[in-house]
Structure 1
Amino acid sequence: MKRTDLDLASRSLGGSVRWASDDFFAPREALIQPWAPLHDKLEFGPHGKIYDGWETRRRRTPGYDWAIVALGVPGTLHEIVVDTAWFTGNYPPEISVEATWLDGNPSNDQLAQAEWVAVVPQSAARGDTANTYRVHNHYAFSHVRLNIFPDGGVARLRVLGTPVPDPRVLGSRIDLAALHNGGEIAECSDMFYSDARQVLYPGVARSMSEGWETARRRTAGNDYLVVTLAGPSHLSYVDIDTGYFLGNAPGRVRLSGRTDDEAPWQEILAESAISPDGHNRFRLDPTPAISAVRVDVFPDGGFSRLHLMGELAGDALAQAIAHWLRLLPPPAYATVLATAGFEPVAVRTLTTEQLLSLAW
């Protein structure tokens, strides 16, 4: 499955709108809601027409308005969508987007002082349109700033890209399937009702629509999905959360693992019954380092979340840290090394021991 079309800013992944110059008419938080913008032409409030989006007041002084979004998962950016749905006489005629990478939870002062890189230059935008802009930058970023010229409203901001999780937190038992740790859906037999990637999202589902559900199977066989783990791993247990799945949870599941794309699947959990609307946890026998897990559901159905708990194997953590360092913008790379007490040397010169010392 494509990873480049994942909305890294979405609130479903933990994104947040940290700061904005103004949101007099409509709140900035709506920019990253996962659902399509809604509209009721008859709905008005104390500040005027109510819009499902972010809208600033009419600017009477020089300058422009902006909003800063902390990505739910840092990553490399491929495409930006500035959706002005329902904004017709009040949309910004031009926009630009900047990005930066900051460690931890930066304050507004730190955001203001950050070194921002233009990823979408000042460009024309149209009203009531999903304005799409390609990004040509290979670095990973943690925050984006949407600038609108001079003011107006935007319904949604979608930041499509590839997750680049922070590997420094991967040094203990973690959820190796979690999207924010580097897991991804590699294959899925059926996504008739909902996207299988949702089972790797953080938090708990709020309804059945936020999980994975297949069509009813009318032929022989069963449905399945394949998860690529954060790296070669030793798994200890699995938690299959069937929350909200009552009459449509699978009757049974089976898990298999493999060491690489060419290796055969080896069973790591024999076919087992699971219960609807709850957590189904199974201890897994010790396995070789596996890089992917296949979850077979019998015969069909769905579940809300999948957690595959374990530890990265061998030097996988050091390799993940090295890959992450190569994707950091130069100022961020220098900051990370300086914080660890290292000189700003090339990644290839760092030893495995030095790379592992960056882990938390």
Structure 2
Amino acid sequence: MSIDFRELPDLAVRTLGGAVVYANDEAFAARENLISAGPSVFDPSSFGHKGKVYDGWETRRRREAGHDEAIVRLGAAGVVKGVVIDTSWFKGNYPPEASVDGLCLDGHPSVDELVGHEGWQPLVPPQAIKGDAENPFEVVGDAATRRYTHVRLRIHPDGGVARLRVHGQAIADPSVVDALGVVDLAAAENGATMIDSSNRFYGSSTNLLLPGPVRSMGEGWETARRRDDGNDWVHVALAAEGHVRVAELDTSYFLHNAPGWASLRGRRAGGEWFELLARTALQPDTRHRFVLGDTPAADEVRLDIHPDGGMARLRLFGSLTDEGRAELGRRW
């Protein structure tokens, strides 16, 4: 199934552990804003000592040839399928062109190592971009199959960018997974992705796979109110094939709009669904943990909520099968 790359996790977002480790200039607005969660906001009356306050990254007007750049360490290293260069609110001060490069450098490299490294590979060649707009670019060819730990945004020649979204699939380090033994097979940082969902009216279903507890209802997945006899659901591709032993269904912050019930099913891709968790009542604003026992191997899981509502996180703790471990190694 082909999906819009923007439905994949944002590997750069701060809530996944991303960081903007370098920018050659941030005279008007701080580089850290590039990877903030949520859309950029704008207050027309907000001015500071440096001028208009923008929720983004903005450099000074260049008076010489060249370009400005920022380097982002991805919160989860992985394959990049597309990027969004968002210039929201930058109308007369956005860069006319931008490009994005990727680098795979494990460990904890210094800024000097990153800036001067010769291994940067083009993900998006210089492209014209629009002001006050989301500018999406799909990564194609060999670049869309490689693992990256860092990305570099270059703007030509200067200006402001509100957000940089780097959508893709994380690839977990097999040695770390082996050392941990039990891992969250539904975690985006381990490589899990959302295949599909019935509804994402108030919040993206991908939020279910993000790390850490939510800080508000807006950081979870919430559907529109159903007016029929059906129910809402999400279909998740696990990080790799494994046995799910414990399921955590978290409705934190969902007080009057949590689902009444939920159930879980698993399968190997293309096979028959089998039951992991029978339809079970849920409570509002609660982290529910269910021991599933000895379950068959699965690489896909479907969560059904009845009839609708919102959830904060989905955690599926378990261990990899031999095939799952081998597949993770091949990706790495």
Q: What's the TM-score once normalised by structure 2's chain length?
A: 0.89
1:107 and 2:114 are equivalent in the alignment: no
Tell me the equivalent position of 2:19: 16
Tell me the equivalent position of 2:124: 120
- Specify every segment of 5 or more residues in structure 2 that has no aligned partner in the other structure, as ranges: none
SS in 2 for 1:30: helix
1:204 and 2:213 are equivalent in the alignment: yes
Q: Return the match for 1:158 from 150, 156, 165.
A: 165
In 2, the alpha carbon distance for the partners of 1:260 and 1:91 equals 44
Shift of 1:12: 3.4
Deviation digits for residues 296-340 of structure 1, max 9, x if unmatched?
22232221001000000123212211222xxxxxxxxxxxxxxxx
Does the CA-based 8 Å contact 2:203-2:223 persist in structure 1?
A: yes
Deviation digits for residues 170-208 of structure 1, max 9, x if unmatched?
221000011111212223233232221111111111211
Does the CA-based 8 Å contact 1:3-1:161 persist in structure 2?
A: no
When structure 1 is superposed on structure 2, of 291-300 and 176-185 the one drifting more is: 291-300
1:98 and 2:107 are equivalent in the alignment: no
Tell me the equivalent position of 2:190: 181
1:296 and 2:304 are equivalent in the alignment: yes
Q: Return the match for 1:48 from 39, 47, 51.
A: 51
Tell me the equivalent position of 1:341: none
Q: Runs of 4 or more off by more than 4 Å in structure 1?
A: none
1:268 and 2:276 are equivalent in the alignment: yes
Q: 1:303 to 1:123 in 2, by over 3 A?
A: closer
Q: Return the match for 1:249 from 241, 247, 258.
A: 258
In 2, the alpha carbon distance for the partners of 1:22 and 1:214 equals 41
1:169 and 2:172 are equivalent in the alignment: no
Alpha-carbon RMSD: 2.1
In 1, the alpha carbon distance for the partners of 2:196 and 2:253 equals 24
1:25 and 2:15 are equivalent in the alignment: no
Shift of 1:261: 1.8
Deviation digits for residues 119-157 of structure 1, max 9, x if unmatched?
233343443343344433232212111112332221222
Q: 1:291 to 1:121 in 2, by over 3 A?
A: closer
SS in 1 for 2:5: coil
Tell me the equivalent position of 2:249: 240
In 2, the alpha carbon distance for the partners of 1:296 and 1:124 equals 43
Q: 1:51 to 1:117 in 2, by over 3 A?
A: same
Does the CA-based 8 Å contact 1:191-1:213 persist in structure 2?
A: yes
Tell me the equivalent position of 1:227: 236
Q: How does 1:331-350 map to 2 (within 5 A)?
A: none
Does the CA-based 8 Å contact 2:5-2:138 persist in structure 1?
A: no
In 2, the alpha carbon distance for the partners of 1:298 and 1:88 equals 44
Letter in 1 for 2:153: L
Letter in 2 for 1:229: L
Shift of 1:62: 4.8
Tell me the equivalent position of 1:89: 92
In 2, the alpha carbon distance for the partners of 1:18 and 1:154 equals 16
Q: How does 1:120-159 map to 2 (within 5 A)?
A: 120-136=124-140, 137=143, 138-159=145-166
Report the number of matched residues.
Answer: 323
When structure 1 is superposed on structure 2, of 64-73 and 235-244 the one drifting more is: 64-73
Shift of 1:3: 6.5
1:34 and 2:37 are equivalent in the alignment: yes
Looking at CA atoms only, which structure, 1 or 2, has the larger radius of gyration?
1
In 1, the alpha carbon distance for the partners of 2:132 and 2:229 equals 46
1:310 and 2:318 are equivalent in the alignment: yes
SS in 2 for 1:29: helix
Tell me the equivalent position of 1:4: 5
- Specify every segment of 5 or more residues in structure 1 that has no aligned partner in the other structure, as ranges: 325-360
Does the CA-based 8 Å contact 2:250-2:288 persist in structure 1?
A: yes
Tell me the equivalent position of 1:191: 200
Q: 1:311 to 1:71 in 2, by over 3 A?
A: same
Deviation digits for residues 247-288 of structure 1, max 9, x if unmatched?
11122222222233222x222223222221121111111012
When structure 1 is superposed on structure 2, of 71-80 and 102-111 the one drifting more is: 71-80
Shift of 1:44: 0.6
